[in-house]
Structure formats: structure tokens, C-alpha cells
Amino acid sequence: MPRLVIDGKTVVAKEGTFLLQAARDAGIDIPTLCEHPAVEPYGGCRLCLVDVTRPEWDGWSKMVVSCLFPVEDGILVSTRSERVTQTRKVVLDLLLARCPETPLVQELAAEHGIDRTSYVPNPEPTDCILCGLCTRICDRLGTSAISSANRGVGREIAPPFHEAPPDCIGCLACAEICPTGFIQYQSGSARRVIWNKEFKMLRCPTCGRGHITEDQARYYDGRNGVPARYFEPCDACKRKEQAAIAVSLMAAPEGR
């Protein structure tokens, strides 16, 4: 297994892991904004930058994004060298200019000594930090209903042509993974609205609660061999039913 040194601490990492995970496993914190265990790493926010060197490199080092850099035997890693700290500050300064009113960005910037951006703040503040978590989870689910559009300061996350996305099934995965709460939705027992698309809810036959959308149930039907009727009862009623079965089995006399 690769043996490396992170901030002076010798770490034996699991084969095939990335530096970010190796640091976390060793109790070393590296700030991140675009990383989530549910999706593949993407290297978008650049906050997780670290310095990597080797004894034979004669003092030369390179900066890498730790969420995408596979661990290597013998490397020396610094998560808070002067260069790393300064670069992270620039990243946060720029992010604060884009999202000056976003609490998550304000807090992270303040932790790095930045109370206000040194760049011209975005005249149309947004809470979208362009971390790409929403589009990656949507791709992972196979729906790919939203994507990033435009370039530069106009870059945004949106459905195609800003219209109700035909492929969206209303699962809310994008909204739930979004770290800033940028993705808005309404969800009740009868209807759900997200990305300007309205969905009818599938009601649990036992308690009557609308728990997933009908589009979700249709989309999941037959995938991985799970039939549509599996999705009809809500999770709470399924658990209650299973608990009742378990209790009745335990109460049954042995041998019957």
C-alpha cells in the first residue's frame, strides 16, 4: 500500500484512493466545495489544491487538486503551504465576487481571512457556486435533465432553453445535493414543482401521503429488476409493514 507523508504525518493509504480521501482518513482536513461521495470527483472548485513533492525533486513541487490526484508511494504533501494558502484565498476571493450573499461562501472565505471580495462583486448575486454537483447527480441517475450553460461570468446551471426539462422526473436529487440551496422547489402530497415542471405525486395506498412523483415511479419501473409496485407504498409504511411481519414471526411458536 502507498506510504506518503501529509503535513509531516506518515500515512499508509489505500491503493487506488485519491489524496483528498487519504488526508481525510488521516484526520487532515482539506476544504472542498465540489466533492461529494455520491458522485465522481470533478476538480471544479480548485479549493482542495495541495502541494506535492518528492525528496529527489530538489525542492521543486507541483500543485494538484487532491480530489483527483491518486496517491503515490513516497510523495510529500503539504495541505497548507504558503502557495496553497494564497491560491485558496484567490479562489475564495473570486467565488465571493460571484456569490457575495451566499452564507456558505461567506463562511469559507472568512475562515481564510477574507471578509469582502477584492474583485468587483457580481451585480446580480447568485447562490450557485457552479460546483456541478447537481448536474453530476442528475447524470449519475441517468436522467441528465439539467446542465451548465454559457461561459465566463454568464455560466449557469439550467434546463435546456430554460424550459421545463422533458427528461426531469422530479426526484429532487439536484436540490438535495446542492450545498447552497440554490435549487428551489415546492413539494406537497399532491404535486411537486421543480425547474418549472409540475409533477403529480404517487400516493402511498396505506397512508395517502404523496412520496415520489409518478414520473419517478415510471422511470424506476423495471430498472434493476424492481417492479413499479415496489414504489407504491412510502418508505415509512414499508418499514411498518416489515416490522409487523418480523413481530409476527417472532411471536409464532417454533416449528410452525
d(CA 132, CA 44): 8
33 binds, among ligand SF4, ligand FES, none (CB under 5 to 8 A by kind): ligand FES
47 binds, among ligand FES, ligand SF4, none (CB under 5 to 8 A by kind): ligand FES
Closer by beta carbon to ligand FES, 43 or else 179 = 43
Element (H, E) at 51: strand 49-53
Q: What are phi and psi of 61, to 5 degrees?
A: -145, 165
Contacts of 132 by beta carbon, 8 Å cutoff, 6+ apart: 34, 42, 44, 148
180 binds, among ligand SF4, ligand FES, none (CB under 5 to 8 A by kind): ligand SF4
Closer by beta carbon to ligand FES, 26 or else 172 = 26
Interface with ligand SF4 includes 96 (CB under 6 A)? no
Q: Under rule CB under 6 A, how many of the chain's residues touch ligand SF4?
A: 13
d(CA 177, CA 223): 23
Instruction: Give me the residues that bind ligand FES (CB under 6 A), please.
Output: 32-35, 43-48, 65, 67
Closer by beta carbon to ligand SF4, 22 or else 133 = 133
Interface with ligand SF4 includes 132 (CB under 6 A)? yes
Interface with ligand SF4 includes 173 (CB under 6 A)? no
d(CA 94, CA 112): 13
Distance of alpha carbon 218 from its chain centroid, rounded? 25
Give which of 156, 179, 149, 183 is closest to 168, Cα–Cα: 183
Closer by beta carbon to ligand FES, 62 or else 162 = 62
Query: Residue numbers of the site for ligand SF4 (CB under 6 A)?
Result: 128-134, 157, 177-178, 180, 182-183
